Amino acid sequence: MHKLLLYIKGYEKQALLAPLFKMLEACFELFVPLVVASIIDTGIKNADAVFIWQRCGLLVLLAVIGLTCSLTAQYFSAKAALGFGTALRKDLFRHIDTLSYSELDGIGTPTLVTRMTSDINQVQNGVNLTLRLLLRSPFIVIGALIMAFSISPHLTLLFVAATVIISLIIWLIMRSTVPIYHQAQNGLDRVTLLTRENYVGARVVRAFARQADELANFVETNDHLKSIQIKAGRISAMMNPLTYLVVNLTVIALLILGGREVDTGNLTQGEIIALINYMSQILLSLLRLADLVISVTRALASGMRVNEILNTRTSMPDPQAPTLAPVAGSPAVAFDHVSFTYRGAGAPSLTDVSFIAQSGQTIGVIGGTGSGKTTLIDLVARFYDATEGSVRLFGHNVKEYSFAQLRQLIGVVPQQAMLFTGTIRDNMRWAAPHATDEEIWAALEIAQAADFVRSKPGMLDEPVETAGRNFSGGQRQRLTIARALVPQPKVLILDDSASALDFATDAALRKALKEKTQGMTVFIVSQRAASVQRGDHILVMDDGNLVGDAPHAELLKACPVYKEICLSQLSKEEVEKTL
Amino acid sequence: MSKPHTKLNRSTIQRVLALIRPYAGSVALTLTLAVITVFTTLLAPVISGKAVDLILGPGQVDFAGLGKLALAMGVTIFCTAVAQWLMNVVNNRITFQVVRDIRVKAFEQLEILPLKYMDAHRPGDAISRITTDVEQFSDGLLMGFTQLFTGVLTILGTLGVMISIDWRIALVVVALTPLSIFVARFIATHTYSMFKVQSETRAEMTSLVEELVGNEHLVRAFGYESRAEARFDRINLDLQKCGVRAVFFSSLTNPCTRFVNALVYAAVGVLGAFAAIAGSLTVGELSVFLNYANQYTKPFNDISDVMTELQNALACAQRVFDLIDETPIVPDAPDAAVLPMGAGSVAFEHVKFRYVPDVPLIEDMNLRVWPGQRIALVGPTGCGKTTLVNLLMRFYEINGGCLKVDGRSIDTVTRDSLRANLGMVLQETWLKSGTIAENIAYGKPDATREEIIDAAKRARAHSFICRLPNGYDTVVAEDGGNISQGQRQLLCIARVMLRRPPILILDEATSSIDTRTEVLVQDAFEELMKGRTSFIVAHRLSTIKNANQILVMKAGNIIERGTHDELLAKGGFYAQLYESQFAKA
């Protein structure tokens, strides 16, 4: 946790001055009851008009100084908190950029987004609140106790007792409501779940005419939530009445015990009023402190979550090597007895895989879900490091390349066709910031996307909405293929990226890839036998093992897994027709 | 911090009142308790002021009177505490009861919303209305209302007591207090624009982070890191700049109103002191005044907060009402008959349908399907295959012509009985949060375990279910993590298998199912289709070839129909589609 405190760097002065000025303000506030006491005891008793004016002038002066201090403190704390938040955000963003796929898988990107946004905002708020208020309340409580002591050491015991009892009440109520609020949150989550479920599944619910049952279920969940909330409300409703009771009982005690002191001349009338004032200041501060503790606890929890990410170290630092030249005569990609196990997984996802892909070849990769197809190609691009064996690219181990060169050599089209807000041109330049329009159009042609891009009013300047919503699934896929082609990579990986294309477009795409990308090694990963069958050779994956590595016709004869896949998708005659 | 843009809407308020009406008794009780609380709260300082007047100086303390006043004060504060506690409890009760009522109303609406609405709106919107908006409404409106009520009562009560003690000083307090409201309002209006800039910048930052961090895998794959960082830093700096301003200026409210309060306090001090010297005010009364001067401004500040909160709450209420007010589906005709489980014939007669009124889609569709026939729907994505599902299940209403099942127009029978005749297995598999058994029995909740197992066996799902940790009682995870896509589809098939409807609508998977499960799904589909009329959205040529009739669809229209051989002979779009799979590259 203390690591996060380092982000206050550059704003130490503000972070120190803010609570200091807050304390000053509190000091001036603590003087007010004393001044009022003196007005009563001296001004009124002696009918001294000048004294009264002076003292009231003093009250106004105290208010002005208090305001100044307070504004200064607010300014410094805003400066410090925002400076802190900005630095933390910047660093976290950079840190996320160093994490490898293994770490990203472990953490999950959705939670990274929440930590980056709402968690950091919470922490920033927490810093602001802490600087401004957290120190103020204890200071007022202690200050008021000291002031009370200076007026009457005897009666201070009463103050201490009241303070302890009030703190205890607040603590007990908070402690007993926290788990109930937790339950209520779970109840609310369940309400959200049911709502989402019924909205998304409206077709099925109606198809089976279960609307009434769903409603009954929802009512039951809601009633449950209601009873929890009422229970929590019943307890927290005691906070104000109880503390009010304690404070005013103390006031009664002050009046009676104080009356005795006044009677014996140890105390004045004005001082009694001052003591009552201090008592109410203590109560207000403690109640505010309780609110604050809740917010700060929340900020601490957020801080912990942010810290967790910052403490995650990348398992794959950038080698930052100079650009490597390809070794003459070496294959584009070579796997040598490669095995791979995902972090935390019990069983390997790839076991002892060896194959060679020559420059310019088209390699099909086929197999069922979970058979290791994606894992295989992720190792080519070094998104993960092989657990055993080596992956070589143009004669060098992939670990020897700098990330920059590696990304240049390999173009990836991931399964999910994801586009980014901006224009089509922006998206096409993702991997090649300086690509010309000609290069972009050439890539679009190959990806079978040129036609529909041309038909858009803005052409390359056509805006792309969040996640490419304004394009159909098939269009998105073709654009992501073009995006990978723009920098003219030496190796292109299509990871099941033609699933939304109809057969005709799929075939045209494969044809264009073959004809227009001389020397490019293409990996086509697919579940469709038709998509891979014309590869120079096909890698057949089954449960992490490479069970076939040959052209289509040979595999049909020799590889039972491949044959099974083909026959599940095509009839016997059709399979024969492909030969 | 968004400023409520809707004005206090009279009809919204009326509807809110209508929601509270069933709890009128409780509301009356809480209002009575509020009156008691305010009264006794104001009384306590008056008593302690009187007590102070009995403590004049050495040897001038009236202990007997002090004892009486102490007792009176004890009773008063005890009453306050009890009344306040009861008020809080009753308020809570009303609030959560009303929240529950609105939620149930909104959920009822969810069950009768037309799918047209649901397809056009994202689920997040409806969910936030039913959860967050309702919550904000209850916090703001119901809690706000009692605060407003006690606030106004406190102001009036304080004013009354102050005037009764010394009307001149009271006048000064009344004249000065509004200052704090002006200050608060001044700051609020001037910080509003800063907050707007801040929240806009923050929204910009959030969408950038969602896009880049949310797709961190791609950022890494394309070496986009440094450009991403540059874009991020720019917004981050903007956010810092406008954040400091917004945070600082908004934090001015408290110190500034406190300052005004301090001025009021000093003024009361001076005037009170002089009045005390003149003998028109006792010291105890002065202390009451000072006490009130502090208390008096607080409800004023609260009220300005509460007013914004109330407006916010009404805006939230309006959003919930908007959902409740959406036009629901046309209810079944009063004379709608129950469609018995029939043989399963379907007829489209001059059916016309458009999603958007001025975008033509299905203009004149005619189709006759005999019981037991198998119809394959073929075509590129987005060709309108799902539209047929929408129309057959009557998820959408046709705009013209007639759609008949077993010879009866579907709008003359009840929806539930129509849908009981149709079984549907879609590619987007939807399972409920619950056990496997509950999911299979979804269409027949009273099914016995034997029936469920039998359906699962025929749907080829039994063996994988048995391998799950708790078998049929395994809970399906919310994100479906413990069951693969293909297995989910098997469960959906079992769900339909249990109902034995005469007509089926099946959606073949395009991808993402592993080959082994795919074989099972194929088998299960075959088993399911035995002797039933079926419509299959088909991607696989073997399925297509076995169909009695193939409908080739493009842009919402049937452009070709016939059997596989007929269509191949025709050499049209279908033939092209078929050949493309075998064309040599």
> Measured between CA atoms, how close is B366 to chain A, in angstroms?
24
B407 conformational bin, left if phi > 0, alpha if psi -120 to 50, beta if neither: left
Give the nearest chain A residue to B221 (CA atoms): A407
Average pLDDT over residues B338-354: 87
Question: Which residues of chain B from 232 to 261 reach within 8 Å of chain A, CB to CB?
Answer: 232-233, 236-237, 239-240, 243-244, 247-248, 251-252, 255-256, 258-259
Helix then strand then coil, in percent of chain A rounded to 5, is 65, 10, 25
- Per-residue pLDDT at A302 exceeds 90: no
Question: For chain B, how many helices (H) and strands (E)?
Answer: 23, 10
**Partner-chain residue, chosen from B95, B395, B576, that has the shortest CB–CB distance to A504:** B576
Cβ-based contacts of B97 with chain A (< 8 Å): 226
Residue indicated by tokens 């080739």: B552
pLDDT per position as a tens digit, A467-490: 777 777 778 888 888 888 888 888
Residue B4's pLDDT is 41
Cβ-based contacts of B516 with chain A (< 8 Å): 368
Residue B372's pLDDT is 87
**Partner-chain residue, chosen from B70, B113, B247, that has the shortest CB–CB distance to A78:** B247
Question: For chain A, how many helices (H) and strands (E)?
Answer: 23, 12
pLDDT per position as a tens digit, A10-49: 888 888 899 889 888 888 888 888 888 888 888 888 888 8
CB pairs < 8 Å spanning A and B: 414
pLDDT per position as a tens digit, B5-36: 444 567 888 888 888 889 999 989 999 999 99
Cβ-based contacts of A66 with chain B (< 8 Å): 255, 258-259, 262
Report the SS3 class of residue B346: strand
In sequence order, which residues have a C-beta less than 8 Å from that of residue A47 and are 6 or more positions away?
B277
- Per-residue pLDDT at B486 exceeds 90: no
Rounded to the nearest 10 degrees, how much is the dihedral formed by the CA atoms of A78, A80, A82, A88? -160
Which of A365-369, B170-174, B347-351 has maximum average pLDDT?
B347-351
Answer yes or no: are the C-beta atoms of A352 and A339 closer than 8 Å: yes
Listed in sequence order, the DSSP H helices in B251-282 are 253-278
- Per-residue pLDDT at B488 exceeds 70: yes
Which residues partner with B348 through β-bridges? Answer: B367, B403
Give the nearest chain B residue to A405 (CA atoms): B223
> Measured between CA atoms, how close is B100 to chain A, in angstroms?
6
pLDDT per position as a tens digit, A156-193: 888 889 889 988 988 898 888 878 887 887 888 888 88
Single out the residue of B542, B138, B574 nearest to residue B320, CA to CA: B138
Cβ-based contacts of A110 with chain B (< 8 Å): 214
Give the nearest chain B residue to A72 (CA atoms): B248
**Partner-chain residue, chosen from B66, B127, B233, that has the shortest CB–CB distance to A199:** B127
User: How would DSSP label each residue in B193-211?
Assistant: HHHHHHHHHHHHHHHHHHH
Length of chain A: 579
At A345, is the pLDDT very low, low, confident or very high (cuts 50, 70, 90)?
Answer: low
Lowest mean pLDDT, pick from A302-316, A535-549, B571-585: B571-585
Answer yes or no: are the C-beta atoms of B582 and B409 closer than 8 Å: no
- Per-residue pLDDT at A418 exceeds 60: yes
> Are the beta carbons of B541 and A86 separated by less than 8 Å?
no
Cβ-based contacts of B545 with chain A (< 8 Å): 571
> Are the beta carbons of B269 and A39 separated by less than 8 Å?
yes
- Per-residue pLDDT at A342 exceeds 60: yes
Q: Report the share of chain A in percent with pLDDT over 90.
A: 5
Work out the angle at residue B380's Cα, subtended by the Cα atoms of residues B347 and A443, and round it to the nearest 5 degrees.
170
Cα gap A93→A315, rounded to integer Å = 17
Q: Report the share of chain B in percent with pLDDT over 70.
A: 91
Rg (CA), chain B: 36
pLDDT per position as a tens digit, A362-382: 888 988 766 788 888 888 888
Answer yes or no: are the C-beta atoms of B577 and A502 closer than 8 Å: yes
**Partner-chain residue, chosen from A36, A272, A466, that has the shortest CB–CB distance to B207:** A466
Give the nearest chain B residue to A472 (CA atoms): B382
Lowest mean pLDDT, pick from A133-147, A514-528, B382-396: B382-396
Q: Is B132 on the interface with A (CB under 8 A)?
A: no
Class for domain A1-152+283-314, per CATH? mainly alpha
- Per-residue pLDDT at B265 exceeds 80: yes
> Measured between CA atoms, how close is A72 to chain B, in angstroms?
10
Give the nearest chain B residue to A513 (CA atoms): B585
pLDDT per position as a tens digit, A427-436: 888 888 888 8
Residue B583's pLDDT is 46
At A519, is the pLDDT very low, low, confident or very high (cuts 50, 70, 90)?
Answer: confident
> Measured between CA atoms, how close is B138 to chain A, in angstroms?
12
Cα gap A441→A309, rounded to integer Å = 40
Cα gap B496→B529, rounded to integer Å = 11
Q: In the structure encoding, which two tokens stand for residue A347, read together?
A: 């069983």
Work out the angle at residue A257's Cα, subtended by the Cα atoms of residues A253 and A258, and round it to the nearest 5 degrees.
105
Class for domain A333-577, per CATH? alpha beta
Answer yes or no: are the C-beta atoms of B63 and B6 closer than 8 Å: no
> Are the beta carbons of A116 and B52 separated by less than 8 Å?
no
- Count other C-beta atoms under 10 Å from residue A110's C-beta: 11
**Dihedrals φ, ψ of A490, to 5°?**
-80, -30
Amino acid identity at B27: V
Q: Report the share of chain B in percent with pLDDT over 90.
A: 7
> Are the beta carbons of B99 and A226 separated by less than 8 Å?
yes
Single out the residue of B424, B434, B441 nearest to residue B501, CA to CA: B424
Q: Which ipTM value was assigned to this complex?
A: 0.81
> Are the beta carbons of B118 and A264 separated by less than 8 Å?
no
Cα gap B5→B319, rounded to integer Å = 12
Answer yes or no: are the C-beta atoms of B463 and B392 closer than 8 Å: no
Residue A383's pLDDT is 85
Residue B73's pLDDT is 92
In sequence order, which residues have a C-beta less than 8 Å from that of residue B544 and are 6 or more positions away?
B376, B378, B538, B550, B564
> Measured between CA atoms, how close is A86 to chain B, in angstroms?
6
pLDDT per position as a tens digit, A53-89: 998 899 899 999 999 998 999 899 999 999 999 999 8
Cα gap B191→B528, rounded to integer Å = 65
In the sheet that holds A333-340, the strands lie side by side as A350-357, A333-340, A388-393, A396-397
> Are the beta carbons of B131 and A188 separated by less than 8 Å?
yes
Answer with the residue of higher pLDDT: B217 or A1: B217
A546-550, Cβ contacts within 8 angstroms, sequence gap of 24 or more: A546/A353, A546/A354, A546/A355, A549/A355
Domains located in chain B, CATH noted: 374-383+421-580 (3.40.50.300)
Residue B516's pLDDT is 64
Residue B514's pLDDT is 60
Answer with the residue of higher pLDDT: B164 or B293: B164
In sequence order, which residues have a C-beta less than 8 Å from that of residue B120 and are 6 or more positions away?
none
Average pLDDT across chain A, whole number: 84
Cα gap A104→A117, rounded to integer Å = 17
Residue A285's pLDDT is 85
Cα gap B387→B354, rounded to integer Å = 10
Answer yes or no: are the C-beta atoms of A280 and A148 closer than 8 Å: no
> Are the beta carbons of A85 and B240 separated by less than 8 Å?
yes
Q: Is B218 on the interface with A (CB under 8 A)?
A: yes
Q: Is A328 on the interface with B (CB under 8 A)?
A: no
A45-51, Cβ contacts within 8 angstroms, sequence gap of 24 or more: A47/B277, A49/B274, A49/B277
Q: What residue ranges do the domains of chain A occupy? A: 1-152+283-314, 153-266, 333-577
What CA–CA distances, in Å, run from A453 to A81, A471, A570? 47, 10, 34
> Measured between CA atoms, how close is A71 to chain B, in angstroms?
7
- Count other C-beta atoms under 10 Å from residue A496's C-beta: 21
Lowest mean pLDDT, pick from A317-321, A498-502, B97-101, B117-121: A498-502
HSE (side-chain half, CA atoms, 13 Å) at A275: 35
Using the 8-state DSSP alphabet, how is residue A548 labeled?
Answer: E
Characterize B335-362 residue by residue with b for buried, 16 or more Cβ atoms within 10 angstroms of its Cβ, and e for exposed.
ebeebeebebbbbbeebebbeeeeeebb
- Per-residue pLDDT at B272 exceeds 60: yes
Residue indicated by tokens 């001296």: A42
Q: Is B11 on the interface with A (CB under 8 A)?
A: no
**Partner-chain residue, chosen from B209, B229, B545, that has the shortest CB–CB distance to A117:** B209
Residue A2's pLDDT is 66
Domains A1-152+283-314 and A333-577 share a fold: no
Report the SS3 class of residue B382: coil
Average pLDDT across chain B, whole number: 82
Residue B25's pLDDT is 92
> Measured between CA atoms, how close is A58 to chain B, in angstroms?
9
Cα gap B451→B497, rounded to integer Å = 10
Report the SS3 class of residue A234: helix
Please provide the distance, in angstroms rounded to a whole number, between the alpha carbons at the two ends of chain B. 61
Cβ-based contacts of B215 with chain A (< 8 Å): 109, 418, 420
pLDDT per position as a tens digit, B492-519: 888 888 888 899 888 776 544 566 667 7
Amino acid identity at A566: C
> Are the beta carbons of B248 and A503 separated by less than 8 Å?
no
Average pLDDT over residues B531-552: 81
> Measured between CA atoms, how close is A252 to chain B, in angstroms?
6
Single out the residue of A500, A482, A418, A495 nearest to residue A446, CA to CA: A482
**Dihedrals φ, ψ of B546, to 5°?**
-80, -5
Cα gap A490→A492, rounded to integer Å = 7
pLDDT per position as a tens digit, A202-237: 888 888 888 888 899 899 999 999 999 888 888 888
Residue A210's pLDDT is 84
